[in-house]
């Protein structure tokens, strides 16, 4: 009798993309059992050969009857963000996640599986005479009070100067919602996740911050230039990328509300550890990194 291995993922879409690596590690350890994933983003797991069933947090009607009652069950439900190794930033989140569940980790990486039909269909929407550069400058949910988070977003003026440098060479597609700041000389795109996967797959250069796009690119086996401020690439990123760490802090932050992380990911105004956004990154470093990055 097969066991229902139930893996629950809380958090945003980037976390679900990282979780595909955990799914692979789980399936290697339990190859003959059913891996049932619960996520707010089931579209991430479409066509994934390691996942037998993916259900949305919003549609778990009769879950106990269908998957637990009368079945052999093993559950992986806990949040790795509260593990000591993650709070101390001792290793990558994926490794922490696996070790928390007693799953052997062998450097599994995120994977997104696209069908040929998806690639052919969505590719027609992103035709361009120039090579495509995809950028993501802002992350977080639509409901967050601050639309710009200094803690992980690329400062607007920095991003605009980078765009202006490459605008004649590339069609620059800016992944953003309508409530996020626009950039001149870019084509804004907000689309279905699977369509965005195809867009990223078609791109020749990529500039991202710590959000879903950098995880998506890695899951498609593509390297990117990624800018980091409050978080560390050793915890949330990938060594194959060109990871640009923010400059040394120039002001003393107020950390009164810091609990299990130094900075709030939403970018509390009083935690800002610089005098001005212009001090966070060297624009030349970003431009040179994009220039030197390999054309995919």
Tally the residues of the chain: 296
Domain count, the chain: 2
Please tell me whether residues 227 and 162 are part of one structural domain: yes
The contacts of residue 38 (CB under 8 Å, 6+ apart) are: 6, 7, 8, 9, 54, 55, 56, 57, 60
Arithmetic mean of pLDDT, 135-156: 91
Q: Exposed, middle or buried: residue 85 (CB in 10 Å: 0-12, 13-18, 19+)?
A: middle
Is residue 107 domain-resident?
no
* Chain centre to alpha carbon of residue 196: 13
Please tell me whether residues 172 and 245 are part of one structural domain: yes
Please tell me whether residues 83 and 127 are part of one structural domain: no
Whole-number pLDDT of residue 50: 98
Among 100, 135, 162, the domain boundary falls at 100
Is residue 109 domain-resident?
no
pLDDT in tens, 259-282: 999 999 999 999 999 999 999 999
Arithmetic mean of pLDDT, 243-261: 96
**Which residue range forms the structural domain that includes residue 244?**
116-292
Please tell me whether residues 170 and 86 are part of one structural domain: no
Arithmetic mean of pLDDT, 109-124: 97
Whole-number pLDDT of residue 257: 93
Does position 61 have pLDDT exceeding 80, yes or no? yes
Does position 105 have pLDDT exceeding 90, yes or no? yes
- What sections of the chain are H helices per DSSP? 13-29, 63, 84-87, 93-100, 116-123, 156-166, 193-202, 212-219, 233-236, 283-292
Whole-number pLDDT of residue 245: 98
């Amino acid at each position: 009798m097969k066991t229902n291995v139930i893996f629950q993922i809380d958090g945003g879409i980037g976390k679900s993309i990282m979780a595909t690596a955990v799914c692979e590690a789980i399936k290697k350890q339990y190859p003959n059992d059913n891996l049932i994933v619960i996520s707010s983003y089931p579209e991430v797991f479409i066509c994934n050969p390691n996942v037998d069933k993916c259900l949305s947090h919003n549609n778990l009607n009769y879950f106990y009857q269908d998957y637990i009652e009368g079945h052999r069950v093993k559950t992986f439900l806990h949040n790795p963000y509260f593990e000591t190794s993650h709070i101390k930033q001792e290793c990558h989140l994926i490794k922490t996640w696996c070790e928390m569940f007693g799953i052997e980790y062998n450097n599994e990486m995120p994977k997104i599986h696209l069908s040929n039909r998806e690639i052919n269909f969505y590719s027609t929407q992103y035709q361009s005479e120039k090579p495509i550069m995809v950028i993501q400058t802002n992350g977080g949910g639509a409901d967050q009070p601050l639309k710009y988070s200094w803690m992980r977003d690329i400062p607007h003026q920095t991003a605009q100067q980078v765009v202006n440098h490459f605008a004649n060479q590339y069609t620059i597609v800016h992944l953003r919602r309508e409530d996020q700041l626009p950039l001149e000389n870019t084509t804004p795109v907000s689309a279905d996740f699977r369509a965005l996967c195809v867009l990223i797959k078609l791109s020749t250069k990529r500039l991202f911050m710590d959000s879903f796009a950098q995880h998506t690119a890695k899951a498609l086996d593509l390297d990117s230039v990624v800018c980091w401020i409050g978080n560390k690439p050793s915890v949330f990123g990938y060594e194959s990328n060109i990871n640009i760490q923010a400059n040394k802090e120039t002001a003393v932050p107020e950390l009164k509300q810091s609990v299990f992380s130094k900075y709030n990911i939403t970018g509390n105004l009083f935690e800002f550890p610089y005098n001005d956004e212009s001090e966070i990154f060297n624009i030349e470093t970003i431009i040179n990194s994009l220039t030197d990055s390999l054309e995919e």
